[in-house]
Structure 1
Amino acid sequence: MVSLVERERARLSGLMVGAGPEGATLCAGWAVRDLAAHLVVREGRPDAAAGIRVRGLAGWTERVQGRAAERPFGELVKSFRSGPPAWSPFNLPGVDGAANLVEFFVHAEDVRRAVEFEPEPLDGELAEALWKRVPMVARFGDARSPVSLRLVHPDGREVTVRRKGAPVVTVTGGPGELVLFLYGRGARAAVVAEGEPGAVEALAHVLPLPAA
């Protein structure tokens, strides 16, 4: 049985091939070739991947990723599509699904939504899996948010991440749309933000929202 993360890996691979190496993405400064290089380095070069999160190592990561981007595009995508190398930490039990589902979903949408796109309903299983990850993603997003966030699923379920003394902004959307918003892709996500105008404006400065 194909797992959700395997399905998202295949979907992202197909989108990158369809867009081509110089295709646009929502990752500032990155064409599809750069995104493919990032994905390959992230899974296959743990010595360099640390710079994705650790600012002091970012220069080393950029150099390794730049060299990877010089590889033939088809080779890069094939390497990503085939999964992490046998010795990669991503092959440890449970790591692939835990670390990659949101990553692959967001980057697939980075490619799909960088150009004109049509709304695409999520498979119910994927939508539920993403919703279960919203609290974790929300805590990551809250580190940058100047307001408390109340994240509301269309069926009424909600997750609240409070910032002491800060006003609450309610953001409503499907699980995938909320994940994209929390990862800074809200300008291309189907979410609605409600709250005090000043609070909504402050939020939009750090986590973009769709144009009114």
Structure 2
Amino acid sequence: MTQIPELHAGTPFDELDDYIALARLSGLVLSPDGSLLICARAVLDDKRAEYVSSLWDPIAIVGGGNSAGQAAVFLAEHVSQVHLLIRGDDLGKSMSRYLVDQIEHHPRVTVHRHTEIRAVHGEKYLEAIAVEDNRTGDQDTIRVRALFVFIGAVPHTGWLADAIALDDHGFVLTGVDAIHARADGSLPINGGLSRTLETSLPGLFAAGDIRRGSVKRVASAVGEGAMAVRQIHEYFERS
């Protein structure tokens, strides 16, 4: 039986027969001066609902994708008011229709279109946010106790940068993209088409959100993990 080696800090990649690249994503948060900060994601469930409603009411959410929409619908069941802020005018541009319908008909969700945060206010805790209409420049203040920002994610792949090909944002290249990125350029393209999750380092596979072009959903990540296992077996069969 082939043993999957234990990975630890400092393990050279050329000592690994095969490996599925595991990394995580952090949510991005905008600081008051507009710079990007990395923060941990908050995980909320019904067990924390009472805590949320007592300390984080009302709530503001920034973002127009499904993650923001799902958060708005969930949190609106536990607080008196959720303010959803989007920069554009069309909530359905990047959000699924079922979420748009729920949000637009939810009595405790207010959608603020063409709206951007300009400052946050509070002494010990968040008390309010200053917002601006990006068309007219009109400013307003919204009183909130918590702010969730869903504007994208950054992959924690710095530890892979010297070993495999990444795109400009740090996402792992796989399949045909990885083949094209290999330094020697000598590997035939048809040599890797059947292993769509293999990186630029033969025998190293990536699955889930850290892979460029992946669908950022839990179900998709689980499916890619299963695919990667299958492709690892194929790799051994052909090696």
Does TM, scored on the shorter chain, surpass 0.5? no
* Higher RCO, 1 vs 2 (CA within 8 Å, ≥6 residues apart): 2
TM-score, normalised with respect to structure 2: 0.23
| The structure with more helix, counted as a fraction of residues | 1
Which protein is bigger by CA-based radius of gyration? 2
| The structure with more strand, counted as a fraction of residues | 2
